[in-house]
């Protein structure tokens, strides 16, 4: 087998794995939004999905603007992830996992038996 063929098959395999993980994450967020009473298709719409995350976390919709401010977006996204975890009666550690390893924790939350309890709005 030529090195070019081996390289292209490796790239193809990596692409297939990437697409599979992407579909799993989208499906996880879709289920999370449905559990929270929001439209599931919002998981595939850029910016609107961030708005739905803020609403699921009990934060105002204008927090989407904070996501475009450098360094502030890091703190805000961590806060939103932790609040989403708390809304599903999960620990702060789970929220940090949802923030840093969303490709693992979003499907766990979406496909799990966890029930959404709306947080008190801030």
Token pair, residue 56, equals 């699921």
Neighbouring residues of 67: CB distance < 8 A, sequence distance ≥ 6? 50, 73, 76, 77
Burial level of 102, CB count in 10 A (0-12/13-18/19+)? middle
3-state secondary structure of 94: helix
Digit-coded pLDDT (tens) for 41-98: 999 999 999 999 999 999 999 999 999 999 999 999 999 999 999 999 999 999 999 9
Give me the chain's average pLDDT, please. Answer: 92
The pair phi, psi for residue 46, each rounded to 5°, is -60, 145
What's the pLDDT score for residue 63? 96
Domain ranges of the chain: 3-111
pTM above 0.85, yes or no: yes
């Amino acid at each position: 087998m030529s090195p070019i063929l081996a390289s292209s098959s490796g790239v193809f395999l990596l692409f297939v794995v990437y697409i599979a993980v992407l579909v799993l994450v989208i499906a996880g967020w879709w289920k999370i939004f449905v559990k929270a009473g929001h439209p599931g298709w919002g998981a595939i719409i850029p910016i609107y999905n961030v708005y739905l995350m803020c609403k699921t976390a009990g934060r105002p919709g204008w927090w989407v603007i904070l996501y475009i401010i450098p360094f502030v977006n890091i703190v805000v996204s961590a806060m939103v992830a932790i609040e989403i975890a708390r809304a599903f009666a999960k620990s702060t550690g789970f929220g940090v996992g949802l923030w840093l390893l969303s490709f693992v924790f979003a499907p766990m939350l979406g496909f799990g038996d966890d029930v959404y309890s709306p947080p008190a709005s801030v």
